[in-house]
Structure 1
Amino acid sequence: MIPKYRKQFNREFSEEKYQQLKDILKQKSGIEPSFRISESPLFLTKEFENKLIEASDSIISQIKAIPSEVLQKAIPENCRVPNDTGQPHFFTIDFGICRNANGEIEPQLIELQAFPSLYAFQKTFEDTFCEVYPFLAGIRNPMSYETFKNYLKELIVGDENPENVVLLEIFPEKQKTAIDFALTEQLLGIKTVCLTQVKKKGMKLYYENNGQCVEIKRIYNRVIFDELDNIPDLKTEFDFREEADVKWITHPNWFFKISKFLLPFLEHQFVPKSYFLHEFPEDENLENFVLKPLFSFAGSGVNLNPTREITDAIEDKEHYILQRKVTYEPVFEDINGDFSKAEIRLLYIWKENDERPVLLENLGRMTKAAMVNVDFNKKDAIWIGSSNAFFTEE
């Protein structure tokens, strides 16, 4: 989409530089990335960036106008956590990079969530791209590393001692996002703690650090609560549904409230029409829609070609949506003349006293498969996997 920078990148690219990119990421984090790192960044126009921002601003305004009691309906009763907050601390929004009927490249909303994504990793990823390809420094995100760090530190650590703040996950060493945990620890000076290691005494929570019992005052939550039920024989001393004297960053209820549940409520030219399955109109053609469960992660349960037989067999229809299909446009040329498709996630934080969230970074995902999730890519393809977007006027 930006011929000048695409040509320069492809001209400078080599397998040696790709290996260098991965080696630096491993060196910085101490961990081998467990998801595929794309060889290439995304080059997008400032005009496209403006479309992303304008659409996001509209979506944020619409969400703010939705009554609290409507958002509360999104939370499954068995996943409701006490001491809810007025707004989330994180807001991320995914757009597919598509072509409209007039031949213009435009974003189309795919999904949104109030759950932390790979914030620390993506900033490091952007920096590393610029180290390996110095010409990228001229078009990088203007937010400095220090400013980025201060934003996250204020949000996650706040006024507490970092030792009283934990990144909470279930079996973190087994998660694909472990590299982000390691980089977050470096960035903020906090520990990653497994939910199974959290101790509860009265209303207070604790973890062990170097043989000492340390109180947990703030939780940077990376546990997807509804997935805990799928872990056999899981034993924990602390249940999310219990009252506890701790501050959530962000509160687990927001994982459900800002989710696919909201898609049928949103209207914008860059928001594909969506319906709850039980409200799908008779005059709409099912072939034009994608079936998605409300609460799933990393593309699980998505059906690109639903049939009436499939939808009729679903009992809990209010827990599914049908979203109008969009066509990802393959516009990112690789060194062999083949093209990849992509989507971009905008990573916002939302400070408690702010009216609107602040955009910190972006995350790109490239593919040559029918679905963008990296698990669906062919193993021998290039220009696929996790990426980062650079925006420029040229």
Structure 2
Amino acid sequence: MIPKYRKQFNQEFSPEKYQQLKDILTQKGGIEPGFRISESPIFLTKDFENKLLDASESVISQIKAIPAETLQKAIPENCKVPNDTDQPHFFTIDFGICRSENGEIEPQLIELQAFPSLYAFQKTFENTFCEVYPFLSDIRNTMPHETFKSYLKDLIVGGENPENVIILEILPEKQKTAIDFALTEQLLGIKTLCLTKVKKKGKKLYYENNGEPVEIKRIYNRVIFDELDKTPDLVTEFDFREEVDVKWITHPNWFFKISKFLLPLLQHQFVPKSYFLHEFPEDESLENFVLKPLFSFAGSGVNLNPTKEITNAIDDKENYILQRKVTYEPVFEDINGDFSKAEIRLLYIWRENDERPILLENLGRMTKAAMINVDFNKKDAIWIGSSNAFFGEG
């Protein structure tokens, strides 16, 4: 994709520059990325970008038209959090880079979430790619850094003092995304806090700073219920399901409402047909579909080759979907003449008074494995891992 830039990048690439890229990221974050950094950016044409945006805008319009009571059905009873909001603060949408039946490279929707992704890291990643390979500045994101910062600060910190705003996570220092927390702290002047450090008095939440209580007024939430369930011995004073006097950014209910739950409800040429497992038609063939649990995270529980035996053994069929398989096209050539596949995540924010979300940045993932998730890559491959997409004229 975009042969001119791919050729120049591959000519300029060296192991030393790759190490320089990683070193600068580590220096900026004060911590090494906990995931593999791809050697290469993803180059995509403006035409492909237009297809991405067309599909995204269509999906956003369809979501806005879905009744609130339908979205409420997505939230498991044991996960409902009080004081829901009319819309989420974040919206991210993942597309596989595929080849259509007529041979064109096109996006195909894979997943969508109302959950924050690596906003601060991806902006830093893009800037760092441009530092190491200056020619990339010609096709970089046109949003100035200060505008990006202003958008995120307005969304997450709002009008509060940054000391009253926290990033909330479970054991944040052990998360693969810890570098994003560190970069967000630098960008916005807020603290990252483990759920175990949150104190509760009445409906107020606090944390201790130098022995003094500091009230928490806004929570930039990075806790996933799925992970909460997997950490049963976590000792906390605060339960998500309790009513507390705090502003959620974004409200935890939206993790469920904008999720794989919506895929069977959406229609577009770049949205593969999906069904809830209990509604799967008899005239469709399982071999053409991927089985996905509704609320798993980072690819866990996905079955690329479901069978009748597997689907029949599932009791809670309403919590699974079958999504028509798409074929990721290996179009990203490495220095050895091998090709990687990729997907791209568009990172939107959705301010409370805005009719539609605003696109801030993107996140790319590259692989040579069957699944895009970075955990499935072979250790000795190149052009794999976390990346960033640049769009230019083809």
One fold, TM greater than 0.5?
Answer: yes
Separation of aligned partners in 2, 1:77 and 1:119: 30
Q: After superposition, what is the alpha-carbon deviation per residue over 1:26-51, rounded to whole angstroms, capped at 9, x for unaligned?
A: 00010011100000000000000000
Provide the secondary structure at the position in 2 that maps to 1:244.
coil
> Offset at 1:203?
0.6
8 A Cα contact 2:38 2:366, kept in partner = yes
Deviations 1:215-266 (A, max 9, x none): 0000000000232121131111000000100000000000000000000000
Which residue is equivalent to 1:131?
131
Query: In the alignment, is residue 360 of structure 1 matched against residue 369 of structure 2?
Result: no
Q: Which residue of 2 aligns with 1:277?
A: 277
Match of 2:14 in 1: 14
Q: For this pair of structures, how many residues does the alignment match? A: 394
Q: Secondary structure at the match of 1:275?
A: strand
**Secondary structure at the residue paired with 1:154?**
helix
2:226/2:296 contact within 8 Å kept: no
What amino acid is aligned across from residue 353 of structure 1 in structure 2? N
For 2:226 and 2:204, the matched residues in 1 are separated by: 23
> Could you list the per-position Cα deviations for residues 143-198 of structure 1 after superposition, in whole angstroms to 9, with x for gaps in the alignment?
01100000000000000000000000000000000000000000000000000000
**Aligned runs of 1:24-35 on 2, under 5 Å?**
24-35=24-35
How many angstroms apart in 2 are the aligned matches of 1:236 and 1:257?
A: 26
Partner secondary structure for residue 106 of structure 1:
strand
Alignment of 1:234-383 (within 5 A): 234-383=234-383
Deviations 1:91-136 (A, max 9, x none): 0000000000000000000000000000000000000000000000
Contact 2:112 2:260 in 1 (8 A): yes
Contact between 1:51 and 1:107, CA under 8 Å: does it hold in 2?
yes
Would you say the 8 A contact 2:290–2:306 is kept in 1? yes
In the other structure, the counterpart of 2:145 is: 145
- Name structure 2 gaps, 5 residues minimum: none
Secondary structure of 1:263's partner?
helix
Structure 1 CA distance for aligned equivalents of residues 83 and 232 of structure 2: 28
Structure 2 CA distance for aligned equivalents of residues 212 and 91 of structure 1: 36
Query: How far apart are the structure 2 equivalents of 1:391 and 1:114?
Result: 25
Structure 2 counterpart of 1:176, which letter? K
Q: Is the 8 A contact 2:167 2:181 kept in 1?
A: yes
Alignment map for 1:94-243 (pairs within 5 Å):
94-243=94-243
TM superposition shift of 1:393: 1.1
SS of alignment partner, residue 359 of structure 2: strand
Q: Gaps (5+ residues) in structure 1?
A: none
Q: What is the Cα deviation at residue 200 of structure 1?
A: 0.3
Instruction: Give 1:211 deviation, angstroms.
Output: 2.2
TM-score (norm 2): 1.00
Runs of 4+, deviation exceeding 3 Å = none
Preserved CA contact (<8 Å) 2:344 2:364: yes
Which residue of 1 is the match for residue 80 of structure 2? 80
Q: Is the 8 Å Cα contact of residues 51 and 106 (structure 1) preserved in structure 2?
A: yes
In structure 1, the partner of 2:390 is: 390
Give 1:217's aligned amino acid: K
Superimposed CA distance per residue, residues 57-112 of structure 1 (whole angstroms, 9 cap, x where no aligned partner)? 00000000000000000000000000000000000000000000000000000000
| Cα distance in 1, alignment partners of residues 225 and 276 from structure 2 | 23
Distance 1:8 1:258 in 2: 39
What is the rounded CA distance, in whole Å, between the counterparts of 1:18 and 1:70 in structure 2?
A: 47
Letter in 2 for 1:147: T
Q: Is the 8 A contact 1:79 1:226 kept in 2?
A: no
Amino acid aligned to 2:128: T
% identity of equivalent residues:
87
Aligned partner of residue 359 in structure 1, secondary structure: strand
Q: How far, CA to CA, are the matches of 1:209 and 1:374 in structure 2?
A: 36
Query: Residue 321 of structure 2: SS of its match in structure 1?
Result: strand
Q: What secondary structure does 1:81 align onto?
A: coil
Residue 41 in structure 1 maps to residue 63 in structure 2: no
Amino acid paired to 1:321: I
Whether the 8 Å contact between 1:81 and 1:240 is mirrored in structure 2 is yes
Instruction: Please say if residues 290 and 303 of structure 1, whose CA atoms lie closer than 8 Å, have aligned partners that are also in contact.
Output: yes
CA contact (8 A) 1:219 1:248 kept: yes
Q: CA deviation at 1:214?
A: 0.3
Return the alpha-carbon distance in structure 1 between the equivalents of residues 157 and 234 of structure 2. Answer: 29
Mapped partners of 1:232, 1:318: distance in 2: 25
Q: Distance in 1 between matches of 2:93 and 2:315?
A: 29
What is the CA distance between 1:210 and its match in structure 2? 2.4
Tell whether the 8 Å contact from 1:22 to 1:37 is kept in structure 2 after alignment: yes
SS in 2 for 1:380: coil
What SS is found at the alignment partner of 1:207?
strand
Which AA in structure 1 matches 2:95?
Answer: F
Which letter maps to 2:211? G
